[in-house]
Amino acid sequence: MNDKAQNLPGATPEVETADQALKQIVDGFLHFHHEVFPQQQALFKKLASSQKPRAMFITCADSRIVPELITQSSPGDLFVTRNVGNVVPPYGQMNGGVSTALEYAILALGVQHVIICGHSDCGAMRAVLNPDSLEKMPTVKAWLRHSEVAKIVLQDNCDCANEGESMKRLTEENVIAQLQHLRTHPSVASRMASGQLYIHGWIYNIETSEIKAYDAEQDKFITLNGINPMPSATPKGRF
């Protein structure tokens, strides 16, 4: 099918092959290498031997979530870790990627902010609501047990009208649950107690680009708009 035919109303778009998909990625790299990199060569030279990120950003592996794009950050600004469901396992339960990245970000890199960012239309949250969909994905099912607390809180306390409302509330409860898990990590607890670390819970809306942030004092999510006081999920330091 030629390009002209593809643009006709009702025409079926050509399905991208595996080779075409890879070519798009390689072409993107070549554009970066030849066009983008030369314009920012001084920045990359500076980053070649050190990094001092402003924050750690823990978010979902969903391909629609691009932390650097959403926050308009440059290379070196964010220390990013991604996984299915933006999960933070409680300390000691799993010596895995999230726990090790968290410890390194705080103790080696000295980040002062940890942001846990959930998002709208999250497939992981839909799977938590419909666990039968995970019967052929045992590792995903086991991983999402870290979100089970959010599901129980929702079931016991919310009479949601439909799946859309359930998804919204579960996404919020999951971020709150992961913030609680985050505080079980010794490096986090110690830096928070001394007022050297601040934690944040965000939810990004893919369709509107809106971000809502959890405010612990008001116990609700508030829109980030640059006008109202910045919502905070961080208790006051004790030392």
Domains of the chain: 1-39 (no CATH), 53-223 (3.40.1050.10)
Asked whether the beta carbons of 20 and 28 are under 8 A apart, the reply is no
Which of 99, 92, 85 shows the shortest CA–CA distance to 56? 99
Tokens for 33, please give them. Answer: 């290498």
> What six digits make up the tokens of 236?
């006051």
Q: Report the relative pairing of strands 55-60 and 78-83 from DSSP bridges.
A: parallel
pLDDT at 3: 46
pLDDT grade, residue 5 (50/70/90)?
very low
52: pLDDT strictly greater than 90:
yes
Q: What are phi and psi of 47, to 5 degrees?
A: -80, -10
How far apart (Å, rounded) are the C-alpha atoms in residues 36 and 235? Answer: 42
Q: What is the pLDDT of residue 12?
A: 57
Q: What is the mean pLDDT of residues 18-26?
A: 94
Q: What is residue 94's predicted lDDT score, i.e. its pLDDT? A: 65
Q: Which residue has the tokens 């999960």?
A: 87
Q: What is the mean pLDDT of residues 165-173?
A: 96
Cα separation of 156 and 78, whole Å? 37
Residue 110's identity, in one-letter code, is: G
What average pLDDT score do residues 121-148 get?
95
> Each residue of 185-200: pLDDT tens digit?
999 999 999 999 999 9
Locate 113 and state its tokens. Answer: 């902010």
pLDDT of 15 higher than 90: no
The amino acid sitting at 182 is L
Token representation of residue 123: 């497939």
Least confident window among 65-74, 134-143, 205-214, 224-233: 224-233
Helices (H), 10-78: 18-31, 37-39, 41-47, 67-70
pLDDT of residue 93: 64
Higher local confidence (pLDDT), 160 or 33: 33
Q: Is 77 helix (H, G, I), strand (E, B) or coil?
A: coil
Q: How confident is the model at residue 11 (pLDDT cuts 50, 70, 90)?
A: low
**What was the pLDDT predicted at 237?**
75
Rounded CA separation 83/92 (Å): 18
Which residues are CB-contacts of 163 (< 8 A; sequence separation ≥ 6)?
129
* Mean pLDDT for the stretch of residues 36-41: 95
Structure tokens at 179: 């913030």
